Amino acid sequence: MKVLARSLLATALLVPAVAAAQPYLVVFKSDQVPADTARLVAGYGGRLSRSYAPIGVVSVDGDAAFAGRIAGDKRVFAVGPEHVFTASEPLAQEASPAMPAAQPLPSDNLYGLQWDMRRVNAPAVWARLPLAAVKPRVAVLDVGTMDDHPDLAGKVDASYSTSYCSTSGGPGATAGYPVYASYIDFDAFPDWTPADGCSPEPANYEPHGTHVAGTIAAKFGGGRVVGVAPDASIGVYKVFDHYRYTDPVAGRVERTGAFDGPLFAAIIDATQRGYPVISMSLGGEIFRNQKGSAASWQAWSRVAKWADRNGALLVAAAGNEEFDLNGVIAHVPSDIPSIVSVSASATSDLVAGADGLVAAPGSDILAFYSNYGASSIDITAPGGDCGPGAACDPDYLILNDYIRPDSGAAAYAWMAGTSMATPHVSAVAAQVRSMHPSWTTGHVRAWLKSSAQNLGNRQYFGAGMLDADAATR
């Protein structure tokens, strides 16, 4: 049965937290956290929650009065509320179990519908696997990944959670499994902090991260689809939380969101564990001149630069709000200079090819939802959209792995978003890094862009379409 639904996130909107008091970010002038930070914070009326020592940033439980007091300390650069990335709504449609057979293996019988793989020339790379003695590795920061999905079984080399409300699940009771059984209740705790804990809810599952991981690394002959780098391994980081609050107009609101702090913790941990590529299909917008966003922007700049210096290439979605990013609006984290920013392409014409559907030559377009801007976008990759017809044609979306939200069963689904574009780039970046371990992150960024197919419109596509074959030569 096919079910068309609005589901989860392709990229998220950056908004202040809903509570009157919440964790604050304190960014010190030094890149190192002072040794007496806990005492310093307590002296101004706050409580130290988490410390991100390598970047000189801490999360603190406090109120506005605390923030005003500590902002005057000579050691402090900026103070601001921890932001939360709330769930957006990409297109999603579960795939029917009856689909035509296709290559590369008989069991991968949905491959014929994966036009995105052919558009980035992934099949030409598969013919040359393995590319190097060291397998590609990618850390995926998302809602969690179904590590027992047939396409991903044996592909996840580690599973972690840095979220505030963490639930383990799956056969191995892994921390990064995409199951959620608790949430942050801002109605019960208007001044919620991590010390208040999380409220129970019936177990349910978030599919976004499983789709992203499948696009990167779904293996040959495992399930029914294939990833860009089927020999790659995935490090799973669950960074999102469920939360609820009551809006005076909308009533009860339920969201899936990631706070700054869990994201910083995941980036630092993944870098320290040696993941050469960190993939983030998430983000949101701020106004560049907005004073309240200064602490978050500075903290993101710090963590990105630190990861870059320590050998991790960060790749992030450019956003799904159709915004022009050349002006006062910035997208976080993809607008941070050291991060590879990925817009979403689509096709205006799918035609039959030898191995299945292909994008007709010259049919590349910017997906209708994708943010754009030559000052922001580095590269593009297929994110899909509804196609040229009046109704949404799922064939024009991106097909990959899925976990059913209600039952947790393995399935397949079409989705669209810059979230779907980003893992294509992350996979190829990991392949390049496995082939050239001595290359710096800057060299890899430049190589991905110089090897891309020039599509002519830098405002929409940056350097052009990701070309897996050219990048791995």
- CA–CA distances in Å: residue 147 to residues 65, 177, 236, 275, 381: 44, 7, 9, 18, 25
Single out the residue of 213, 128, 215, 140 nearest to residue 472, CA to CA: 128
| Residue 451 reports pLDDT greater than 90 | yes
Same domain, 71 and 112: no
**Residue % of the chain over a pLDDT of 70:** 91
H or E element, residue 401: strand 398-403
Same domain, 285 and 405: yes
Q: Choose one of 81, 106, 123: the last residue of a domain.
A: 81
| Cα–Cα distance measured from residue 400 to residue 213, given in angstroms and rounded to the nearest whole number | 9
Same domain, 68 and 136: no
| Cα–Cα distance measured from residue 344 to residue 46, given in angstroms and rounded to the nearest whole number | 42
| Cα–Cα distance measured from residue 164 to residue 92, given in angstroms and rounded to the nearest whole number | 27
Same domain, 74 and 90: no
Q: Calculate the CA 196 to chain-centre distance.
A: 27
Confidence at 3, pLDDT banded by 50, 70, 90: very low
Mean pLDDT across the chain: 90
Same domain, 92 and 58: no
Same domain, 206 and 216: yes
| Residue 102 reports pLDDT greater than 70 | no
Same domain, 28 and 126: no
Same domain, 51 and 137: no
Q: What is the pLDDT of residue 194?
A: 85
Q: What is the pLDDT of residue 285?
A: 87
Same domain, 50 and 193: no
Domain that holds residue 396: 4-12+83-471
Q: What is the pLDDT of residue 429?
A: 98
Same domain, 126 and 34: no
**Residue % of the chain over a pLDDT of 90:** 81
Q: Choose one of 26, 51, 81: the last residue of a domain.
A: 81
| Residue 88 reports pLDDT greater than 70 | no
What are 375-394's pLDDT values in tens digits? 999 999 999 999 998 899 99
What CATH number is given to the structural domain containing 411?
A: 3.40.50.200
Structural domains of the chain, count: 2
Same domain, 193 and 231: yes
The mean pLDDT value for 408-432 works out to 96
Q: What is the pLDDT of residue 84?
A: 83
DSSP-H helix ranges across 273-325: 294-309
Q: Choose one of 61, 81, 101: the last residue of a domain.
A: 81
| Residue 87 reports pLDDT greater than 70 | no
What are 302-359's pLDDT values in tens digits? 999 999 999 999 999 999 999 999 989 999 999 999 999 999 999 999 999 999 999 9
Same domain, 348 and 371: yes
What CATH number is given to the structural domain containing 38?
A: 3.30.70.80
The mean pLDDT value for 399-414 works out to 95
Q: What is the pLDDT of residue 9?
A: 39
What are 212-232's pLDDT values in tens digits? 999 999 999 988 999 999 999
